[in-house]
DNA sequence: GTTTAATAACTAACCAGTCAGTTAGGAATT
DNA sequence: AATTCCTAACTGACTGGTTAGTTATTAAAC
């Protein structure tokens, strides 16, 4: 035993992002408390000890996951929305399906689940997510709604609740897929939710005739 | 040390419900994995060993919590909805605020969080919740929507997605309160969400004029 | 006196974080 | 160009604390 491959290589630069990538996977599959550092290390191709050369604690590793793997995607969607020229209705019709896609492609839904489920036991997780994701995304959407209200385009009412009205069902769809489909629930199509719900929320669920508003 | 109070009493009938009650509290506060059986036992006024006289495992105890403490409340709301005489619009206007109230009063939101967050690691949790709560509630709502569609009262489209459109924002509100308010997020009023969102979803978010549907 | 609800001390397993030791790989020396 | 030295990236066995589940024993109740 001599010449062959070395047991490991020194790759100070590449490690952190590889570890973060592996951590995203394992956190997604097992949640925060359920994720084992040994498994993260194994998937990143290093030993557990190496993790501690780059990240001080498990929580700090999770924060790094949020910052490097999640926040950029959110920023992209927000930038798209803020650069959008056209009516709010058209923006909404473009935004929801796009958000649905990004959520599925990035495994963002799984991280949401972690934060929701373990926020109570690990408040730092909830705070990091709130500051880096929610504040940014929901804040941007709320401002867009306020502007559309000022233009007389959409109905009065708390703009933040309007934002909830828009994205709530999408989130429900995400949680449905992640939580109940694996145990036998009837599958649901996220893109279909996005499409139908946008039209519902923009023009209403009631058939137009005498009825209308309250 | 003799005459005085006995160290404990045999109360075969009362124990199970007391334990379930204590378990609901502790599960709510700490999540499933985070809840310690010692703490549940302490709050129920028994030792950990006594738990195992009535429940085989931690998961079975959780199922009992769902069945005895949660399902009856859901059944009540469902019964109310199915007995309702009147338009779907009026039913929705009554149902959402009522659901919001029940959720807050019973701590149901906290259990939702557990199921969402830990369903992946403990599939039995997700299955129990799906079978005893989701199937019942969402099934009933979907049927009500189908009937309203048949009467021509509400717009065509997948009735299940319509149901998502109705309750999604409320769920988002619940998760918001439970997850982000404790770490400094701007508070939101569940009743206000219910009220505004029902009107939004029934008659639409757009101001009526040339716009309308797509 | 018998039964059994209930206890308390126990075991076995798990896992975040530590640390003493190992080895890759570049720098200095020949 | 070959050899030696040095450092820090990396390993993997270990520790300490935690907790679901078990069991030998005790005492309440009839």
The 3-class secondary structure across chain B, one letter per residue, is CCCCCCCCCCCCCCHHHHHHHHHHHHHHHHCCCCCCHHHHHHHHCCCHHHHHHHCCCHHHHHHHHHHHHHHHHHHHHHHHHHHCCCCHHHHHHHHHHHHHHHHHHHCHHHHHHHHHHHCCCCHHHHHHHHHHHHHHHHHHHHHHHHHHHHCCCECCCCHHHHHHHHHHHHHHHHHHHHHHHHHCCCCCCHHHHHHHHHHHHHHCCECCCCCCCC
Q: Is A47 strand, coil or helix?
A: coil
Q: How distant is C1' of C19 from CA of A53, in Å?
A: 13
Q: Would you state the structure tokens that stand for residue A137, as one six-digit string?
A: 């995304």
φ/ψ of residue B204, rounded to 5: 100, 160
Q: In terms of pLDDT, which residue wins out, B145 or A33?
A: B145
Name the closest nucleotide to B10, judged by C1' and CA: C5
Contact A152 B115 (CB under 8 A): no
CA–CA gap between residue A130 and residue A127 (Å, rounded): 5
Intervals of CATH 1.10.10.60 along chain A: 1-56
Using CB atoms, which residue from B162, B179, B180 is nearest to A205? B162
CB A134 within 8 A of CB A143: no
- The mean pLDDT of A89-112, rounded to a whole number, is 89
Residues of B in contact with A160 (CB under 8 A): 186, 188
pLDDT at position A211: 42
pLDDT at position B205: 85
CA–CA gap between residue A148 and residue A151 (Å, rounded): 5
Going by C-alpha positions, the residue among A93, A200, A147, A165 that lies closest to residue B204 is A200
Q: Mean pLDDT score of chain A, rounded to an integer? A: 88
Radius of gyration for the alpha carbons in chain A, expressed in angstroms and rounded: 21
Q: How distant is C1' of C11 from CA of B46, in Å?
A: 21
Going by C-alpha positions, the residue among A175, A161, A176 that lies closest to residue A116 is A175
Each residue's pLDDT, cut to its tens digit, for chain B (214 residues) gives 344 667 777 787 788 999 999 999 999 999 898 899 999 999 999 999 999 999 999 999 999 998 988 889 889 999 999 999 999 999 999 999 999 998 888 888 888 888 888 888 888 889 989 998 999 999 999 999 999 999 999 999 999 999 999 999 999 999 999 899 999 999 999 999 999 999 999 998 887 754 444 4
Contacts of B191 (CB under 8 A, 6+ apart): B97, B100, B101
CA–CA gap between residue A156 and residue B65 (Å, rounded): 42
Going by C-alpha positions, the residue among A83, A72, A70, A191 that lies closest to residue A144 is A83
The whole-angstrom distance between B35's CA and the closest CA on chain A is: 10
Q: Which residue has the tokens 């995203």?
A: A24
Judged by average pLDDT, the poorest of A10-19, A129-138, B148-157 is: A10-19
CA–CA gap between residue A96 and residue A91 (Å, rounded): 9
CB B193 within 8 A of CB B170: yes
- pTM, two decimal places: 0.88
CB B111 within 8 A of CB B65: yes
pLDDT at position B13: 78
Contact A197 B161 (CB under 8 A): yes
Would you identify the CATH topology of the domain A64-205? Tetracycline Repressor; domain 2 (1.10.357)
Q: How distant is C1' of D2 from CA of A46, in Å?
A: 33
Helix (H) or strand (E) holding A44: helix A37-44
pLDDT of residue A118 exceeding 90, the answer is no
Cα angle value B204/B205/B211 (rounded, 5°):
85
Radius of gyration for the alpha carbons in chain B, expressed in angstroms and rounded: 21
Give the long-range contacts of residues A91-95, CB within 8 A, separation 24 or more.
A91/A144, A92/A166, A92/A198, A92/A201, A92/A202, A93/A198, A93/A202, A93/B214
Cα angle value A159/B115/A106 (rounded, 5°):
65
pLDDT at position A186: 95
Whether the CB of B48 is less than 7 Å away from nucleic strand C comes out as yes
Class of domain A1-56 as given by CATH: mainly alpha
Intervals of CATH 1.10.357.10 along chain A: 64-205
Q: Is A184 strand, coil or helix?
A: coil
């Amino acid at each position: 035993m001599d010449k062959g491959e070395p047991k490991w290589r020194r790759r100070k630069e590449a490690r952190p992002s590889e570890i973060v990538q592996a951590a995203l996977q394992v956190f997604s599959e097992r949640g925060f408390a359920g994720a084992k550092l040994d498994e993260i290390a194994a998937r990143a191709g290093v030993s557990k000890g190496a993790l501690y050369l780059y990240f001080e604690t498990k929580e700090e590793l999770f924060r790094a996951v949020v910052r490097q793997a999640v926040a950029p995607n959110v920023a992209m969607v927000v930038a798209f929305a803020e650069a959008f020229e056209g009516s709010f209705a058209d923006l909404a019709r473009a935004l929801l399906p796009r958000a649905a896609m990004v959520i599925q492609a990035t495994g963002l839904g799984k991280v949401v689940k972690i934060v929701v489920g373990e926020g109570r036991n690990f408040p730092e997780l909830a705070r990091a997510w709130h500051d880096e994701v929610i504040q940014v995304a929901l804040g941007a959407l709320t401002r867009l709604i306020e502007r559309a209200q000022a233009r007389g385009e959409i109905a009065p009412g708390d703009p933040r609740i309007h934002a909830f009205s828009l994205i709530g069902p999408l989130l429900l769809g995400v949680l449905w897929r992640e939580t109940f489909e694996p145990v036998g629930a009837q599958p649901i199509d996220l893109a279909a939710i996005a499409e139908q719900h946008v039209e519902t929320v923009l023009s209403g669920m009631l058939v137009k005739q005498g009825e209308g508003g309250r």
